[in-house]
C-alpha cells in the first residue's frame, strides 16, 4: 500500500517538510511495509518556498529590504526558468524589528528586489506567494523596487510605506523593468478581498498587523489615493478585483503594474510541485495544518489536497493541531478521517513544543486504523 503524506506547515511548531517527516516516521513504525511519499504542500503563505524546494527547486539566496528597511537574507526557489518567491520571506511579520508592528511604514520594496533577483537568474515565469505580509502599502514598494517612480508634490521620491501614499502626487512608469513585459507573473492568493472599503486591505487586514482605528483610516485614504492615481496612469481600474486587497494590497499593484494573474494559492502550488503525479497508485493521502477551521474551507492547502485527491478517487485523512470543524463539514470538504494533536495533548503550549513527537504518534495511529 502506498500513502502520500502532503501536509502544510503547523505554524509556530513545524514546517511542512518537518510535519511530513514526523507523520511518515510514525506510519513506518506502525507499518514497515508501507510505501510512503512525502510531498509537503503550501498555499502561498509561509512555507511556499520550502514546499518548492522539497519538490526539487534549487535554493537561490538574495539580500533585500525587510518591511521597515533593514536588510534581510532570504531565499527563492528556481527550476528551469521558473522562480518561486515568498512575500513572507522578505516582508513578513517575522521580519519586523523588536520595536513591534509598523503598519503605517512597512513596505513591500524587498519583494520587488527579490523579483528583480529572479529575473537576473533567468526566470521567465515567477510565482509569488503573498500570504503572511506585514505590510499595507498597496504593493507600492514592490512597484518602486522594479522601477516605478512615485513622487510627492515637490517632485521628490515618495517615502516607503502605506501612509506615505497619502502624499502621492505623481507616478512615472517609464522606468519599470522592461523584463516584466516578457515574464509570466502568477500570484498565489487565498483571499478575495478588494483593495478598498469595509472588506478591503486596510479595514480587514491592517488591524492584524498592529493598526489602530486611526491608522486604518489613514491607510484607507492613502490606498484610495494610490488607486486613483494608478487608474489615471495605468488603467483599467483593478481596485475592486477579487484579491486586489491580498497582502495589504500587494495584489493590486501586481495586477495594475506587473500584469499578474491572481491564482488560488493551493491549486497553483499543487500544480507547481506535481501533486497529481504523486497520487499515482496511492491508497491514502494524509494532509494537515496547524488549525483546521472555517478558514481552511476557504481554500487552504488541506482542502486543495482533498479536492485534487478526490478527483483521482483517493481517500484523504487530515491531521491538525486542533480540529474545529464538525463531522459534516469535514465530510463535505472531502476528509474521511480527522486526527487532532489536542486529542493526544490538550495543553496547546506542550502540543506546540512537542509537535513532531505527537505527529509521529498520530502517524502510528493512522497506520493502525486506516490500513
Report the pLDDT value the prediction gives residue 189, as an integer from 0 to 100: 84
pLDDT value, residue 336: 96
Round to whole Å and give the CA distance between 208 and 215.
12
Q: Is 13 helix (H, G, I), strand (E, B) or coil?
A: coil
pLDDT of the residue at 241: 95
| CA torsion angle 100 105 108 110 (round to 10) | -70
Query: What dihedral do alpha carbons 162, 269, 63, 123 form, nearest 10°?
Result: -110
- Ordered domains of the chain (ranges, CATH): 2-41+278-369 (3.40.50.10350), 48-266 (3.90.1510.10)
Question: Which residues of the chain are under the pLDDT cut of 50?
Answer: none
Q: What is residue 297's predicted lDDT score, i.e. its pLDDT?
A: 87
Please say whether the beta carbons of 162 and 106 come within 8 A.
Answer: yes
Query: What is residue 236's predicted lDDT score, i.e. its pLDDT?
Result: 85
Nearest to 115 by CA among 256, 260, 246, 244: 260
Express each pLDDT in 205-226 by its tens digit: 999 999 999 999 999 999 999 9
Instruction: Report helix, strand or coil for 243.
Output: coil
Cα atoms in the 13 Å half-sphere on the side-chain side of 61: 4
pLDDT at residue number 176: 98
Amino acid at each position: 500500500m502506498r500513502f502520500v503524506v502532503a501536509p502544510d506547515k503547523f505554524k509556530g511548531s513545524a514546517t511542512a517538510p518537518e510535519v511530513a517527516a514526523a507523520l511518515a516516521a510514525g506510519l513506518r513504525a506502525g507499518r514497515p511495509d508501507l510505501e510512503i511519499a512525502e510531498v509537503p504542500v503550501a498555499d502561498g503563505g509561509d512555507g511556499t518556498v520550502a514546499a518548492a524546494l522539497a519538490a526539487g527547486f534549487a535554493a537561490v539566496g538574495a539580500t533585500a529590504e525587510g518591511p521597515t528597511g533593514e536588510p534581510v537574507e532570504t531565499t527563492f526557489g528556481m527550476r528551469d526558468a521558473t522562480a518561486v518567491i515568498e512575500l513572507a520571506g522578505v516582508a513578513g511579520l517575522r521580519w519586523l524589528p523588536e520595536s513591534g508592528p509598523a503598519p503605517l511604514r512597512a513596505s513591500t520594496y524587498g519583494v520587488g528586489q527579490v523579483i528583480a533577483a529572479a529575473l537576473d537568474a533567468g526566470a521567465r515565469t515567477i510565482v509569488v506567494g503573498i500570504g503572511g505580509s506585514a505590510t499595507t502599502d498597496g504593493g507600492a514598494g514592490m512597484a518602486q523596487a522594479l522601477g516605478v517612480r512615485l513622487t510627492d508634490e515637490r517632485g521628490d521620491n515618495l517615502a516607503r510605506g502605506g501612509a506615505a501614499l497619502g502624499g502621492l502626487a505623481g507616478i512615472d512608469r517609464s522606468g519599470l523593468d522592461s523584463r516584466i513585459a516578457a515574464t509570466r507573473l502568477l500570484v498565489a492568493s487565498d483571499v478575495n478581498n478588494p483593495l478598498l472599503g469595509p472588506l478591503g486591505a486596510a479595514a480587514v487586514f491592517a488591524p492584524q498587523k498592529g493598526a489602530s482605528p486611526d491608522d486604518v483610516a489613514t491607510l484607507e485614504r492613502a490606498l484610495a489615493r494610490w488607486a486613483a492615481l494608478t487608474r489615471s496612469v495605468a488603467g483599467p481600474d483593478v481596485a475592486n478585483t477579487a484579491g486586489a486587497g491580498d497582502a495589504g494590497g500587494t495584489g493590486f499593484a501586481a495586477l495594475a503594474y506587473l500584469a499578474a494573474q491572481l491564482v488560488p494559492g493551493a491549486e497553483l502550488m499543487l500544480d507547481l510541485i506535481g501533486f497529481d503525479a504523486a497520487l499515482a497508485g496511492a491508497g491514502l493521502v494524509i494532509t494537515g495544518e496547524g488549525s483546521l477551521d472555517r478558514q481552511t474551507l476557504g481554500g487552504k492547502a488541506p482542502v486543495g489536497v482533498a479536492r485534487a485527491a478526490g478527483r483521482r478517487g483517493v481517500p484523504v485523512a487530515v491531521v491538525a493541531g486542533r480540529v474545529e470543524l464538525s463531522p459534516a463539514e469535514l465530510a463535505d470538504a472531502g476528509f474521511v478521517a480527522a486526527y487532532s494533536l489536542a486529542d493526544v495533548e490538550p495543553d496547546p503550549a506542550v502540543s506546540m513544543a512537542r509537535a513532531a513527537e505527537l505527529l509521529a504518534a498520530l502517524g502510528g495511529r493512522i497506520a493502525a486504523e486506516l490500513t
